[in-house]
Structure 1
Amino acid sequence: MTSPIAAILETALYVDDLDAAERFYGGVLGLERISRAGDRHVFFRCGPGVLLIFNPDETIIPAPPDALPVPAHGARGPGHACFRLEGDDFAALLKRLADHDIAIESDFRWPNGARSVYFRDPAGNSLECAEGRLWGCDDEVCVPPPFNLSP
Protein backbone atom coordinates (compact mmCIF):
# COMPACT_ATOMS: atom_id res chain seq x y z
CA MET A 1 0.00 0.00 0.00
CA THR A 2 1.37 3.42 -0.97
CA SER A 3 1.33 6.11 1.69
CA PRO A 4 -0.38 9.40 0.92
CA ILE A 5 2.40 11.16 2.88
CA ALA A 6 4.81 12.83 0.46
CA ALA A 7 7.46 14.38 2.72
CA ILE A 8 8.18 15.96 6.08
CA LEU A 9 6.78 19.49 6.00
CA GLU A 10 8.06 20.68 9.37
CA THR A 11 10.36 19.55 12.14
CA ALA A 12 10.05 20.74 15.74
CA LEU A 13 12.71 21.15 18.40
CA TYR A 14 12.18 22.40 21.94
CA VAL A 15 14.39 24.91 23.76
CA ASP A 16 14.33 26.82 27.04
CA ASP A 17 15.87 30.00 25.58
CA LEU A 18 14.25 31.27 22.36
CA ASP A 19 16.63 34.23 22.13
CA ALA A 20 19.67 31.91 22.08
CA ALA A 21 17.91 29.62 19.59
CA GLU A 22 17.06 32.54 17.31
CA ARG A 23 20.68 33.74 17.36
CA PHE A 24 21.93 30.21 16.66
CA TYR A 25 19.55 29.16 13.88
CA GLY A 26 19.31 32.60 12.28
CA GLY A 27 22.82 33.90 12.92
CA VAL A 28 25.10 30.87 13.06
CA LEU A 29 23.27 28.57 10.63
CA GLY A 30 21.88 31.40 8.52
CA LEU A 31 18.27 30.20 8.31
CA GLU A 32 15.62 32.74 7.34
CA ARG A 33 13.25 33.61 10.19
CA ILE A 34 9.59 33.32 9.21
CA SER A 35 8.01 34.50 12.44
CA ARG A 36 8.32 34.73 16.18
CA ALA A 37 5.57 34.78 18.79
CA GLY A 38 6.95 36.19 22.04
CA ASP A 39 8.49 33.48 24.20
CA ARG A 40 6.35 30.72 22.62
CA HIS A 41 8.06 29.95 19.31
CA VAL A 42 10.28 31.05 16.46
CA PHE A 43 9.94 29.52 12.96
CA PHE A 44 12.62 29.30 10.26
CA ARG A 45 12.54 28.50 6.54
CA CYS A 46 14.69 25.46 5.81
CA GLY A 47 14.73 24.69 2.09
CA PRO A 48 11.22 23.57 1.16
CA GLY A 49 10.36 22.84 4.81
CA VAL A 50 10.04 24.69 8.10
CA LEU A 51 11.99 24.33 11.34
CA LEU A 52 9.78 25.04 14.36
CA ILE A 53 11.54 26.00 17.59
CA PHE A 54 9.19 25.91 20.59
CA ASN A 55 9.43 26.77 24.27
CA PRO A 56 7.88 23.67 25.93
CA ASP A 57 6.66 25.72 28.90
CA GLU A 58 4.45 27.69 26.51
CA THR A 59 3.31 24.99 24.07
CA ILE A 60 2.03 22.73 26.85
CA ILE A 61 -0.58 25.42 27.68
CA PRO A 62 -3.87 24.65 25.88
CA ALA A 63 -4.94 27.22 23.29
CA PRO A 64 -7.68 29.65 24.30
CA PRO A 65 -11.14 29.01 22.82
CA ASP A 66 -10.78 31.77 20.19
CA ALA A 67 -7.36 30.56 18.92
CA LEU A 68 -6.47 28.04 16.25
CA PRO A 69 -7.25 24.52 17.48
CA VAL A 70 -3.63 23.32 17.74
CA PRO A 71 -3.39 20.78 20.56
CA ALA A 72 -0.98 21.40 23.45
CA HIS A 73 2.34 19.65 22.86
CA GLY A 74 5.96 19.69 23.84
CA ALA A 75 9.01 17.69 24.71
CA ARG A 76 11.79 17.96 27.26
CA GLY A 77 15.40 17.12 26.74
CA PRO A 78 17.57 17.09 23.64
CA GLY A 79 16.02 16.16 20.31
CA HIS A 80 17.54 15.56 16.90
CA ALA A 81 17.18 17.11 13.46
CA CYS A 82 19.13 16.45 10.30
CA PHE A 83 19.60 19.10 7.62
CA ARG A 84 20.40 18.11 4.04
CA LEU A 85 23.53 19.59 2.45
CA GLU A 86 24.97 19.29 -1.00
CA GLY A 87 28.50 17.90 -1.18
CA ASP A 88 30.28 21.23 -1.67
CA ASP A 89 28.37 22.95 1.17
CA PHE A 90 30.26 21.14 3.94
CA ALA A 91 33.23 23.53 3.77
CA ALA A 92 30.93 26.55 4.24
CA LEU A 93 29.10 24.85 7.11
CA LEU A 94 32.32 23.87 8.90
CA LYS A 95 33.66 27.42 8.53
CA ARG A 96 30.44 28.90 9.95
CA LEU A 97 30.56 26.55 12.91
CA ALA A 98 34.27 27.22 13.54
CA ASP A 99 33.70 31.00 13.30
CA HIS A 100 31.15 30.66 16.12
CA ASP A 101 33.21 28.19 18.21
CA ILE A 102 30.66 25.39 17.71
CA ALA A 103 32.30 22.02 18.40
CA ILE A 104 31.95 19.21 15.89
CA GLU A 105 31.00 15.99 17.68
CA SER A 106 31.42 13.73 14.68
CA ASP A 107 32.30 14.02 10.99
CA PHE A 108 32.23 10.77 9.07
CA ARG A 109 31.07 8.84 6.01
CA TRP A 110 28.33 6.20 6.14
CA PRO A 111 28.76 2.83 4.37
CA ASN A 112 27.16 4.29 1.20
CA GLY A 113 29.69 7.17 1.19
CA ALA A 114 27.32 9.88 2.41
CA ARG A 115 28.89 12.38 4.79
CA SER A 116 27.37 13.45 8.13
CA VAL A 117 28.51 16.16 10.53
CA TYR A 118 27.07 16.31 14.07
CA PHE A 119 27.04 19.27 16.48
CA ARG A 120 24.78 20.78 19.20
CA ASP A 121 22.60 23.86 19.42
CA PRO A 122 22.63 25.99 22.62
CA ALA A 123 19.78 23.88 24.10
CA GLY A 124 21.72 20.64 23.60
CA ASN A 125 19.72 19.38 20.61
CA SER A 126 21.75 17.05 18.40
CA LEU A 127 22.00 18.51 14.91
CA GLU A 128 23.24 16.67 11.88
CA CYS A 129 24.04 17.94 8.42
CA ALA A 130 24.22 15.19 5.83
CA GLU A 131 24.18 14.57 2.12
CA GLY A 132 20.78 13.56 0.79
CA ARG A 133 22.21 10.34 -0.54
CA LEU A 134 22.39 9.11 3.06
CA TRP A 135 18.73 8.20 2.56
CA GLY A 136 18.90 7.84 -1.23
CA CYS A 137 17.44 11.32 -1.78
CA ASP A 138 17.56 13.30 -4.93
CA ASP A 139 15.60 16.53 -5.42
CA GLU A 140 12.20 14.84 -5.20
CA VAL A 141 12.33 11.42 -3.57
CA CYS A 142 14.19 9.41 -0.92
CA VAL A 143 14.74 5.67 -1.10
CA PRO A 144 16.16 3.79 1.91
CA PRO A 145 19.82 2.83 1.53
CA PRO A 146 20.70 -0.79 0.80
CA PHE A 147 22.57 -1.19 4.11
CA ASN A 148 21.86 -1.24 7.82
CA LEU A 149 22.36 2.17 9.48
CA SER A 150 22.35 0.68 12.98
CA PRO A 151 25.64 0.95 14.88
Structure 2
Amino acid sequence: MADDPLPFAAAPSHLLEAAVYCADLDAAERFYNGILGLERIVRDKNRNVFFRVGTGVLLVFNPSETVKPPGNPDRPVPPHGALGDGHVCLAVPGPALDDWRARLETAGVEIEADFRWPNGARSIYVRDPDGNSVELAEQKLWQQPI
Protein backbone atom coordinates (compact mmCIF):
# COMPACT_ATOMS: atom_id res chain seq x y z
CA MET A 1 0.00 0.00 0.00
CA ALA A 2 1.32 3.43 -0.89
CA ASP A 3 -0.01 4.95 2.35
CA ASP A 4 1.57 2.25 4.55
CA PRO A 5 3.75 4.04 7.14
CA LEU A 6 5.75 0.89 7.91
CA PRO A 7 9.07 0.79 6.08
CA PHE A 8 10.38 -2.42 4.53
CA ALA A 9 13.69 -3.36 2.95
CA ALA A 10 12.32 -4.68 -0.32
CA ALA A 11 9.12 -6.03 -1.75
CA PRO A 12 8.97 -9.80 -2.20
CA SER A 13 10.67 -10.82 -5.47
CA HIS A 14 8.53 -13.80 -6.45
CA LEU A 15 6.05 -16.34 -5.21
CA LEU A 16 8.00 -19.03 -3.37
CA GLU A 17 5.16 -21.44 -2.71
CA ALA A 18 1.42 -21.80 -3.05
CA ALA A 19 -0.91 -24.43 -1.63
CA VAL A 20 -3.98 -26.39 -2.57
CA TYR A 21 -5.79 -28.88 -0.37
CA CYS A 22 -6.59 -32.44 -1.46
CA ALA A 23 -7.99 -35.16 0.78
CA ASP A 24 -6.67 -37.96 -1.46
CA LEU A 25 -2.92 -37.43 -1.77
CA ASP A 26 -2.47 -40.54 -3.93
CA ALA A 27 -4.90 -39.12 -6.51
CA ALA A 28 -3.26 -35.70 -6.21
CA GLU A 29 0.15 -37.22 -6.82
CA ARG A 30 -1.09 -39.11 -9.89
CA PHE A 31 -2.50 -35.82 -11.24
CA TYR A 32 0.29 -33.35 -10.42
CA ASN A 33 3.19 -35.74 -11.04
CA GLY A 34 1.77 -38.32 -13.42
CA ILE A 35 -0.35 -36.08 -15.66
CA LEU A 36 1.14 -32.60 -15.24
CA GLY A 37 4.70 -33.93 -14.91
CA LEU A 38 5.65 -31.87 -11.87
CA GLU A 39 8.69 -33.20 -10.02
CA ARG A 40 7.78 -34.58 -6.59
CA ILE A 41 10.08 -33.11 -3.96
CA VAL A 42 8.83 -34.88 -0.85
CA ARG A 43 5.81 -36.64 0.59
CA ASP A 44 5.01 -36.83 4.29
CA LYS A 45 2.72 -39.86 4.61
CA ASN A 46 -0.90 -38.69 4.39
CA ARG A 47 -0.17 -35.07 5.42
CA ASN A 48 1.31 -33.49 2.30
CA VAL A 49 3.12 -33.90 -1.00
CA PHE A 50 5.21 -31.09 -2.52
CA PHE A 51 6.09 -30.49 -6.19
CA ARG A 52 8.68 -28.33 -7.95
CA VAL A 53 7.25 -25.73 -10.35
CA GLY A 54 10.13 -23.80 -11.91
CA THR A 55 11.74 -21.88 -9.06
CA GLY A 56 8.69 -22.29 -6.84
CA VAL A 57 6.88 -25.08 -5.06
CA LEU A 58 3.29 -26.29 -5.15
CA LEU A 59 2.27 -27.58 -1.73
CA VAL A 60 -0.56 -30.12 -1.70
CA PHE A 61 -1.91 -30.59 1.81
CA ASN A 62 -4.44 -33.03 3.18
CA PRO A 63 -6.89 -30.64 4.89
CA SER A 64 -7.81 -33.11 7.64
CA GLU A 65 -4.12 -33.34 8.62
CA THR A 66 -2.97 -29.70 8.40
CA VAL A 67 -5.62 -28.50 10.86
CA LYS A 68 -3.88 -30.55 13.57
CA PRO A 69 -1.23 -28.90 15.76
CA PRO A 70 2.34 -29.65 14.68
CA GLY A 71 3.83 -32.84 16.10
CA ASN A 72 7.44 -32.01 15.29
CA PRO A 73 9.03 -29.31 17.49
CA ASP A 74 11.66 -28.71 14.79
CA ARG A 75 8.87 -27.69 12.37
CA PRO A 76 6.37 -25.65 14.39
CA VAL A 77 4.19 -24.73 11.39
CA PRO A 78 0.86 -23.44 12.73
CA PRO A 79 -2.28 -25.39 11.79
CA HIS A 80 -3.90 -24.12 8.59
CA GLY A 81 -6.30 -25.08 5.86
CA ALA A 82 -8.93 -23.88 3.46
CA LEU A 83 -12.55 -24.72 2.75
CA GLY A 84 -13.82 -25.02 -0.79
CA ASP A 85 -12.03 -25.31 -4.08
CA GLY A 86 -8.72 -23.53 -4.48
CA HIS A 87 -6.94 -22.31 -7.60
CA VAL A 88 -3.44 -22.49 -8.99
CA CYS A 89 -2.14 -21.26 -12.35
CA LEU A 90 0.89 -22.83 -14.01
CA ALA A 91 2.81 -21.00 -16.74
CA VAL A 92 3.10 -22.87 -20.05
CA PRO A 93 4.60 -21.64 -23.32
CA GLY A 94 1.78 -20.65 -25.68
CA PRO A 95 2.77 -23.03 -28.50
CA ALA A 96 2.65 -25.96 -26.05
CA LEU A 97 -0.97 -25.37 -24.96
CA ASP A 98 -2.41 -27.46 -27.80
CA ASP A 99 -0.16 -30.36 -26.77
CA TRP A 100 -1.21 -29.88 -23.14
CA ARG A 101 -4.87 -29.94 -24.11
CA ALA A 102 -4.35 -33.21 -26.00
CA ARG A 103 -2.39 -34.72 -23.08
CA LEU A 104 -5.08 -33.79 -20.57
CA GLU A 105 -7.87 -35.15 -22.76
CA THR A 106 -5.95 -38.38 -23.37
CA ALA A 107 -5.57 -38.74 -19.59
CA GLY A 108 -9.35 -38.34 -19.20
CA VAL A 109 -9.13 -34.88 -17.63
CA GLU A 110 -12.13 -32.75 -18.59
CA ILE A 111 -11.31 -29.35 -20.06
CA GLU A 112 -13.48 -26.89 -18.16
CA ALA A 113 -12.53 -23.85 -20.26
CA ASP A 114 -10.08 -22.92 -23.02
CA PHE A 115 -10.07 -19.28 -24.11
CA ARG A 116 -8.04 -16.15 -24.82
CA TRP A 117 -8.04 -13.18 -22.48
CA PRO A 118 -8.47 -9.66 -23.94
CA ASN A 119 -4.67 -9.24 -23.86
CA GLY A 120 -4.30 -12.32 -26.10
CA ALA A 121 -3.05 -14.75 -23.46
CA ARG A 122 -4.60 -18.22 -23.58
CA SER A 123 -5.73 -20.21 -20.55
CA ILE A 124 -6.89 -23.80 -20.17
CA TYR A 125 -8.80 -24.69 -16.99
CA VAL A 126 -9.19 -28.19 -15.52
CA ARG A 127 -9.94 -29.60 -12.06
CA ASP A 128 -7.60 -31.69 -9.94
CA PRO A 129 -8.98 -34.83 -8.24
CA ASP A 130 -10.19 -32.80 -5.25
CA GLY A 131 -11.96 -30.14 -7.35
CA ASN A 132 -9.32 -27.40 -7.22
CA SER A 133 -9.18 -25.21 -10.32
CA VAL A 134 -5.90 -25.72 -12.19
CA GLU A 135 -5.11 -23.23 -14.93
CA LEU A 136 -2.42 -23.66 -17.56
CA ALA A 137 -1.72 -20.24 -19.03
CA GLU A 138 0.72 -18.33 -21.15
CA GLN A 139 3.24 -16.31 -19.16
CA LYS A 140 2.07 -13.12 -20.87
CA LEU A 141 -1.22 -13.37 -18.96
CA TRP A 142 0.13 -10.99 -16.33
CA GLN A 143 2.61 -9.05 -18.47
CA GLN A 144 -0.16 -6.79 -19.81
CA PRO A 145 -3.50 -5.68 -18.42
CA ILE A 146 -6.12 -8.35 -18.84
Identify whether the pair has TM-score above 0.5, normalized to the shorter chain: yes
Give % identity: 54
C-alpha distance in 1, partners of 2:55/2:131?
25
Q: Do residues 104 (structure 1) and 132 (structure 2) align?
A: no
Please list, as runs of the form range in 1=range in 2, the aligned pairs for 1:3-42 lying within 5 A after superposition. Answer: 4-42=11-49
Which stretches in structure 1 are left out of the alignment for 5+ residues? 137-144
Runs of 4+ in 1 over 6 A off after TM superposition: none
- Counterpart AA for 1:125: N
Please list, as runs of the form range in 1=range in 2, the aligned pairs for 1:45-64 lying within 5 A after superposition. Answer: 45-64=52-71
Q: Deviations over 1:14-72 (max 9, x none)?
A: 01100000011110111110000000000001111100000011111111362312111
Q: Do residues 89 (structure 1) and 133 (structure 2) align?
A: no
Q: Deviations over 1:119-144 (max 9, x none)?
A: 101100011111111100xxxxxxxx
Q: Secondary structure at the match of 1:21?
A: helix
C-alpha distance in 2, partners of 1:65/1:90?
42
Q: Do residues 119 (structure 1) and 126 (structure 2) align?
A: yes
Q: Given the superposition, is the C-alpha separation of residues 78 and 66 from structure 1 closer, same or farther in structure 2, using an over 3 Å criterion? A: same
Which stretches in structure 2 are left out of the alignment for 5+ residues? 3-7
C-alpha distance in 2, partners of 1:7/1:100?
32
Question: What is the RMSD of the two structures over their aligned residues, measured on CA atoms?
Answer: 1.5
Q: Secondary structure at the match of 2:95?
A: helix
Structure 1 residue 77 displacement after superposition: 1.7
Q: Secondary structure at the match of 1:112?
A: coil
Q: Deviations over 1:56-101 (max 9, x none)?
A: 1111111136231211111122100000111121122112101111
Q: Given the superposition, is the C-alpha separation of residues 35 and 65 from structure 1 closer, same or farther in structure 2, using an over 3 Å criterion? A: closer
Q: Do residues 128 (structure 1) and 128 (structure 2) align?
A: no
Q: Secondary structure at the match of 1:51?
A: strand
- Counterpart AA for 1:16: A
Report how many residues are paired.
Answer: 139
- TM-score scaled to structure 1, two decimals? 0.87
